[in-house]
Each structure stands twice: as structure tokens, then as C-alpha cells.
Chain A
């Protein structure tokens, strides 16, 4: 039998691979901008629509475009949706370019930051003890949310930027396949993000309530500027703020996404347009922030991802970045020798196995 186990660090490698793929996708907006500008410079299409003048007159006349009809249904009395054009223009001329700049800007910031600051090392070096940081369940729901988020981000970016970006690369026929697949996948996986969001909220909310010490962490720049470390609680104020952004913006994304997938609750076209705008802005904002999160977890900081990978974090890392929490844990005798954190143990079983390994022969 072939036995090839997955090494503990492989999840990080997968996450990095996915992240690189995401970054590649995020580089594409450059072409999107060029394409949009190019399209703007083109002359209008020569195909004439005989009804175009009529509909233009209706839309531009100084009279309401809604009336009454015997047809029952949402917006059935609307002769023409004038806001549709406003929404389309906003999407093409503002949303896509600005979103592209934002995502590209974040990449540039991270590259610059890494170039200047480099990887934030554990100053005291790796300790000979570790602290249990996340339980199996916490890590499970974190990576579940991460998997779903990356899938939704990639498919969502294809839907948003794909038309101007991917058609020149793949052609219309292949892009039609990619776009259809992305849309179906995005719609189907979307509700799972809601499940992940609820699970994460329930599990992590208590530790993300702002408390004493958080503000001083913020005022001292979280230790990013300069070499001095700033103590914090289990989560620092940056992490807590990211959590609340995830919950609040994530809720907006979920609700607007459900409105878009299920147009059966009587929502009008205007609500759908609003939902689309909210969904796109929220998602772009979240992707931008999560890029920073992925940066810190992957190449930005030594030891940052260990807790989410193995359940344990290095004692020195904890002291440097989460000193209040680390001190409490040490006082309670929760620090475990590295030898005890063996391949069989995780924070749920560390007490049992830890004691056994600490006191061999007993």
C-alpha cells in the first residue's frame, strides 16, 4: 500500500498556492482598464435599432416611466428601467476601475512593505515551549471559511473583471464557458459562506470584543512601525477589527448575494442593482483586507500561521505579539514543552498526552 501522509505544513502551502493564483487574477485589472479605455475610444456600433429612438425618447422625456398594467409581477408596470443605465455605467466606469486600482494598490503596498520591513522574525528565536492557541474545531471552521472564500473570490473576480480581461486572452467562446462555470459555482458555493460566517461568529465573537489594552495597541501602530513589539490580548485590535469587518461586511455580502440568487421575494430591479453594488463593493473590500491577512500568515510574519496549522504557537512569538494572553497562559501552566507537542497531540488532547510524555515511566 502506498503511504504518503500530508505533512503538517502542507495546508499553508495549499493556501499560498491559492493565494498566488488569486494574486495573478488580481493583476488582470490592468488590462481591464486598458480595455475599458480602448472601448471608449471606439466609434458607436453601426447596427441600427429601429426602436432605439423610441426608447430613448421615453427614457428622456419629462414624464414618469411607470404606469398600470393587468400583468401581475414586480416591475411589470415599468415601461423602461432608467436606473439600469446608471447602474451599468457605474459598474463599467467606476466600480471596475476603482476595484482594480484598490486590489492592485494592495498588492503594491504589500510588496513595498515586505521589501522595506521584510519578514517579521521572532526576536528571541523559537522557544522550547508552545502554547495551545486554537482547538481542532476552531481551525476546522477557519480553513473551511478560507477554502470557500478563495473559491468565491476567484469566481467573483472572473465575473467582475472577466469580460474585458479574459475575452482578449481566451476568446469569446472559451470565456463564455469560464463565465458560466464561475457564475454557477459562485451561486452554489455562496450559501456555504453564510454557514461559515455563522460558525466563525459564534465561535470567535467572545474573544473579539474590544477590551483594555486594544486602543494602546492601535495607538502604537500595532508594532508594525519600528522594531518594538506591542503587547496585546488573545487577538490584537487589528485582528478584532478584521473580525468585525468580516462579520459586518460579510453579512452585507451574504444578504445581497441571497437577494441576487433568489429574485423571488418581490425585490425590484432597483433593489437588485443596489444588491449588486453592495455585494461587489463589500467583496472587493474584503478581498483587499484578506490579502493583508494572507500576507501576514504566509510570508509576512514568522510563526503567525503556526496556531492555525498545528493548534500551537511558539511561546516567544506569543510573548512578542500577544503578551497579555501569553502571560496568563504561562501563569496557568499551559506552556507545553516542544517534545510534548508531538504528531499525535492537538490542543484538545494535549493535557493527556502532554503529561504522559513529560513524565515517562509513570
Chain B
């Protein structure tokens, strides 16, 4: 009964909330528009936007010593999570069966394990730092911690279900993933999509002023 609910209606509902919610958030941001800038442009806003979208993902050499580990942890978490989310065989099989109708080449099992290890390493370091540093602790609110906890639990239950031998473990993993999907559009996890707009906006503003920022 519960299993059927998690596998069926709850999955459909959570996916719908995720898709509609994310679309709604993005559309509202795009519809908000910009105030017209009447100043004489000193550079290209478009190239500034594109440059900033990518350049902000590059390693920042000028970061303080203690910031370097966090940059590396950020890379580990995001790249590791991306790899295991889209290139792990069990996930590809799931997407093919439930969403796309087709699959794509998966990474080898050892790479799947390494990606998971790296993602955990990065997430734990970032989360502990958030809790320990007086500055990040003060800047963090409930949303930050809820998002982190949900992502962590989804990853953890996925790792516990790695043997793929027990339906109960798969269902726990799926249930938490569904809760994450429902929570996603209402949280800061939206930065997965909105980082493009925020960086693009800043980059365009700076590019127009001729500032290389």
C-alpha cells in the first residue's frame, strides 16, 4: 500500500510540483524585467553576462588560504552529485523507465562509487563549515539546513541501497528524493537553475559598465 503510493501517485505529484514550481520561479524572475539603463554603454552587456556565468565557476586563486578547501569541497560536491545523478546506471534506468523513455551510456561502477565518495566528502566539509564558522552560521537559516539535510539523506539512503537487493531501501531512497523534489522549488536549492540568471545579471551590468568583474 505505502510502497505503491511512493512508487505511483507520490512520484507523479512530486515531479509535477518540481516541474511546475521550478518553471514558475524561473518565469517570474524573467518576467520581472530590468530597469532601463540610460547611461552610455562602455562595454558589451552580453559578453559580460556570458563571461561571468562561466568565470564564476573557475577556481579563484585570490581566495584566502582557508577558502581554498571550501572551493575544492564545492567542486567535489557539485561535480560528484552531477555525475551520480545523471550517469549512474540505476538512475539512468529509472529516468528511462519513468521519464525519458530512453537511456544513455552510464559511467562504470567504480566511477559511480568514486563520484559518490567525492560528493559526500564535499557535502560534509561544506556543511560542517556552515555550522562551525560564526559568519556562515549567522548567514544560514532553516532553509539552508533543511536543503542540506534533505540532499544528504537522499545521498545517504541511495548509498545504503547500493546493493539493490531490498525494495524497502529503494523505497526509502525514492521517498526522500520525492520530498526533495517537492521542497526544491520553494528553497535555495533553486540556485541549481537561478545561478545562470543571477550571474548573468551581474555580469551584464558589469560588462555594460566596462568592468571586468
With A136-B129, A180-B163, A180-B169 as contacts: A189 and B120 at CB distance below 8 Å: yes
Q: Mark the stretch among A3-11, A240-248, A277-285 that contacts chain B.
A: A3-11
Contacts of A2 in B (CB 8 A): 141-143
- In the complex, which residue of chain B has the Cβ closest to the Cβ of A346? B134
Point out the residues of chain A lying under 8 angstroms from B135, CB to CB: 344
Q: Kindly list chain A residues whose C-beta atoms are within 8 Å of the C-beta of B162.
A: 184, 188
Q: Is A188 touching B113 in the complex (CB atoms < 8 A)?
A: yes
Any A CB within 8 A of the CB of B57: no
Bound complex: CA A176 to CA B169 (Å): 11
Report the Cα distance A144→B131, complex, angstroms: 12
User: In the complex where A5-B138, A136-B66 touch, is A180 in contact with B165 (Cβ < 8 A)?
Assistant: yes
Q: Are A136 and B124 in contact (CB under 8 A)?
A: no
A136 adjacent to B141 (CB under 8 Å): no
B128 and A144 contact, CB distance less than 8 A: yes
Of B69, B120, B134, B161, most A-chain CB atoms within 10 Å: B134
Q: Mark B167-179, 1 if CB is under 8 A from A, else 0.
A: 0110000000000
B116 located at the interface, meaning its Cβ lies under 8 Å from any Cβ of chain A in the complex = yes
Q: Are B137 and A5 in contact (CB under 8 A)?
A: yes
Cβ-defined contact, A177 with B138, below 8 A: no
Chain A residues in 8 Å Cβ range of B117: 188, 191-192
Chain B residues within an 8 Å CB radius of A251: none
With A and B bound together, what is the CA distance between A338 and B117 in angstroms? Answer: 40
Give B141's nearest chain A residue, CB to CB. Answer: A3
A11 touches B134 (CB 8 A): no
Would A139 and B120 count as touching, CB distance under 8 A? no
Minimum distance in angstroms from A357 CB to a CB of chain B: 14
Interface membership of B15, Cβ < 8 A:
no
Contact of B131 among A11, A180, A195 (CB under 8 A): A11
Which one of A11, A143, A348 has the greatest number of beta carbons of chain B within 10 Å? A143
Interface membership of chain A positions 139-153, coded 1 if the CB is closer than 8 angstroms to chain B and 0 otherwise: 110011001100000
List residues of B (135-177) whose CB comes within 8 Å of A's CBs.
Answer: 135, 137-138, 140-143, 145, 156, 159-163, 165-166, 168-169
Asked if A343 contacts B156 (CB within 8 A), the reply is no
Does any Cβ of A come within 8 Å of B132's Cβ?
yes
Would you call A1 an interface residue if the criterion is a C-beta within 8 Å of the partner chain's C-beta atoms?
A: yes
Interface range on chain B (Cβ under 8 Å from partner): 20 to 34
- Find out whether the CB atom of A144 lies under 8 angstroms from the CB atom of B137: no
Contact of A184 among B69, B160, B168 (CB under 8 A): B160
| Complex CA–CA separation, A346 to B138 (angstroms) | 13
How many residue pairs link A and B with beta carbons under 8 A? The number is 91
Using A3-B142, A140-B69 as known contacts, say yes or no to A195 and B121 having CB atoms under 8 A apart: yes
Task: Indicate if the CB atoms of B141 and A140 lie closer than 8 Å.
Answer: no
Could you give, for residues 89-128 of chain B, a 1 whenever the CB lies within 8 Å of some chain A CB and a 0 otherwise?
0000000000000000000000001001100110011001
A78 at the B interface (CB under 8 A): no
B133 at interface by CB-CB < 8 Å: yes
A24 at the interface (CB under 8 A from B): no
Residue pair B143, A6 in contact (C-beta under 8 Å)? no
Which residues of A (1-59) have their CB < 8 Å from a CB of B?
Answer: 1-6, 8, 10-11
- Report which of A6, A136, A184 forms a contact with B159, defined as CB distance below 8 A: A184
Interchain CA distance A218-B68 in the complex, whole Å: 39
B129 interface neighbour in A1, A140, A176, A184, Cβ under 8 Å: A140
A325 to B: closest C-beta gap in Å: 22
Min C-beta distance of B55 to chain A, whole Å: 26
A248 smallest CB distance to B (angstroms): 24
Cβ contacts under 8 Å, A263 to chain B: none
For residue A215, which residues in chain B have a CB less than 8 angstroms away from its CB?
none
With contacts A4-B142, A188-B159 known, is A177 near B132, CB below 8 A?
A: no
Verify B166–A177 contact, CB threshold 8 A. yes
A345 CB, min distance to chain B CBs, angstroms? 7
Q: Is A229 an interface residue (CB 8 A)?
A: no
Question: If the complex has contacts A143-B132, A180-B165, A192-B120, are A5 and B156 also in contact, measured as CB distance less than 8 A?
Answer: no
The minimal Cβ–Cβ distance linking B68 to chain A, given in whole angstroms, is 10
Complex Cα distance, B77 from A185, in Å, reads: 18
CB atoms of B137 and A8 under 8 A apart? yes
Instruction: For the complex, give the distance between the alpha carbons of A182 and B163 in Å.
Output: 11
Chain A: minimal CB distance from B164 (Å): 10
Q: Is the CB–CB distance between A6 and B129 below 8 Å?
A: no
Contacting residues, chain A, for B143 (C-beta < 8 A) = 1-2
Contacts of B116 in A (CB 8 A): 188
Q: How far is the CB of B28 from chain A (nearest CB, A)?
A: 17
A-B CB proximity, top 5 nearest: A181-B160, A184-B162, A4-B142, A3-B141, A188-B159
Having A137-B66, A188-B159, A192-B121, one finds 7 other A-B pairs with CB under 8 Å, namely A1-B141, A6-B145, A140-B125, A143-B128, A180-B163, A188-B120, A345-B134
Could you pull out 27 A-B pairs where Cβ atoms are within 8 angstroms?
A4-B142, A5-B137, A6-B145, A8-B134, A11-B132, A136-B132, A136-B133, A140-B125, A140-B128, A144-B124, A144-B128, A147-B128, A148-B124, A180-B163, A181-B161, A183-B163, A184-B159, A184-B162, A184-B163, A188-B113, A188-B116, A191-B117, A192-B120, A192-B124, A343-B138, A344-B134, A346-B133
